[in-house]
Amino acid sequence: MFCGSFIVESYNFLHSITALFLLAVYFLKLIFAFMEKKERILIVGAGLVGSLWALMLGQRGYHVEVYERRPDMRKFGFAGGRSINLAMSERGWRALAVAGVEEAIREEAIPMKGRMMHDLKGNLTFQPYGLEGQAIYSVSRAGLNLKLIEAADALGNVRFFFGHKCTRVQFGESPLLFFAAPEGQAIQRSADLVFGADGAFSAVRYSMQRTARFNYSQQYLEYGYKELSIPSADGGEHQLEKNALHIWPRKQFMLIALPNAGGDFTVTLFLPFKGENSFEQLQSPRAVRAFFEKWFPDALELMPDLEKDFLENPTGTLMTVRCRPWQKNGNTLLMGDAAHAIVPFYGQGMISGFEDCRILNDMLEEGQSWSDIIQTFSDSRPKDTNAIADLALRNFVEMRDLVADPTFLLRKKLEKVLHQKYPERFLPVYSMVSFSHIPYAKALEEQVKQDALFERILAHPQPEAVLDDEAFLWGA
């Protein structure tokens, strides 16, 4: 009797344990099913913005495919000659911090605390960018791109397909993309969500341009650029001040140089395509050398490969892209240069694309649906990217024409004093853009107000004296 009862109770107990175990497994499956991201995400473009966005999405558990027309830079290297070095500032660091790669990038970044101006005689003038301790950072474009690709690829749920050129997109409930693969064969891929991060000449955007009610404009500057270089000294040291962005301002054109970790500098000449001092006039080694002897003699002394670099490297173009809307059907979205390419004179082209990634990631963190995120981002973000496009065009004039002007230098001096005296009321626009997360549109509004303020201050017989007069500065 006792034995039979024991067997029955043991059976019931084991049955209960089994039932609980099966119930636990069932709930775990539900949890994992809930956690698993069902959307099939495809990114066109494995450049800086595309690879960072792939990394962020991969870290959130999405399965991502990235298609890039160029060959894998991990195997074939990075094609130089067209690259303007990157100036990393606060908005970019914040996006990299969200992706968990900030510290790895900072290890090789070089702080640039201000502009070092070179006049025709080689005299130097230094202009700090911000307050003590503030700097923008010179970062290798190729090195950064490589680290982002490697970090995303290491996740396991992000796959890269190199040598795949997007030819068109067929929009619908599940977008269909067409690619030319490395061997020349045509392939198709469908996805639930598509992100066009394929640069200023975006194939995804071009497909959108052929749809109804899509607005698009592109504006080229009459200037181009040429990448050159200053090698390191024999011991590997930098031949110019390491912690500065060097500028040779010459009114209608300029030369800049940014330091690299290896001791060399990436040098970029910005010059009109046509005219007296222009690319069309520099077609021979003799003409190139004569031009640099006249306008950049101290730089020429440091550039042993000038003629070779100048004649072999391509001449790049400078373009601003504006378009609306950035999305189609709530499942396809443009980002980075594909949506808002700008000229490089505020160092915010890549940065604004990184900020795109960070903003989208924040919206995901808030639990918004993809359709809401894509629609809201497409509606709200262009006001800021249009603003930084305008600010970048203005800054070109500042860098090229004004940085050596006495009135401009006085204004910069007074800006610093005003910020120290009235930190709650005045922040220079450059600091808003480079050292804060204030929306670009707000910075552009402040630019207009500050221009009017300094027009009044500099018209006063004693500009420095009025900095203590709050009624004069801010009104009654």
pLDDT digits (tens, 9 = 90+) for 125-169: 998 988 888 999 999 999 999 999 999 999 999 999 999 999 999
Q: Which pTM value belongs to this model? A: 0.89
Cα 343 from Cα 113, distance rounded (Å) = 22
Q: What is the mean pLDDT of residues 205-211?
A: 96
Residue 403: the pLDDT is 63
Least confident of 11-15, 36-40, 350-354, 454-458: 11-15
3-state secondary structure of 60: coil
Closest by CA to 44, choosing from 218, 213, 147, 193, is 193
Token look-up 């190199």 returns 162
Residue 399 placed within a domain: no
Is the same domain home to 206 and 333?
yes
Q: Is the peptide bond before 249 cis (omega within 30 degrees of 0)?
A: no
Number of domains in the chain: 3
Task: Yes or no: say if 141 and 439 are a contact pair by the CB < 8 Å rule.
Answer: no
**Range of 26's domain?**
1-35
Is the same domain home to 4 and 86?
no
Is the same domain home to 204 and 116?
yes
Final residue belonging to a domain, choices 336, 363, 388: 388
**Token couple for 217:** 């404009």
Residue 397 placed within a domain: no
Please count the other Cβ atoms lying within 10 Å of the Cβ belonging to residue 447.
20
Residue 400 placed within a domain: no
Residue 396 placed within a domain: no
Stronger pLDDT, 37 or 116, i.e. the higher one: 116
Final residue belonging to a domain, choices 388, 419, 439: 388
Residue 395 placed within a domain: no
Is the same domain home to 333 and 444?
no
What's the pLDDT tens digit per position in 95-125?
A: 999 999 999 999 989 999 999 999 999 999 9
Is the same domain home to 57 and 70?
yes
- 365 contact partners, CB below 8 Å, separation of at least 6: none
Is the same domain home to 10 and 117?
no
Task: Yes or no: say if 265 and 244 are a contact pair by the CB < 8 Å rule.
Answer: no
- 457 contact partners, CB below 8 Å, separation of at least 6: 414, 463, 466, 467, 473
Final residue belonging to a domain, choices 388, 422, 454: 388
Is the same domain home to 374 and 461?
no
Is the same domain home to 144 and 63?
yes
DSSP assignment of 121-190:
T--EEEEESSSTT--EEEE-HHHHHHHHHHHHHTTSSEEEEET-EEEEEE-SSS-EEEEE-TTS-EEEEE
What percentage of the chain reaches a pLDDT higher than 70?
Answer: 89
Is the same domain home to 22 and 47?
no
- 163 contact partners, CB below 8 Å, separation of at least 6: 68, 69, 70, 71, 72, 181, 182
Residue 102: the pLDDT is 97
Is the same domain home to 67 and 28?
no
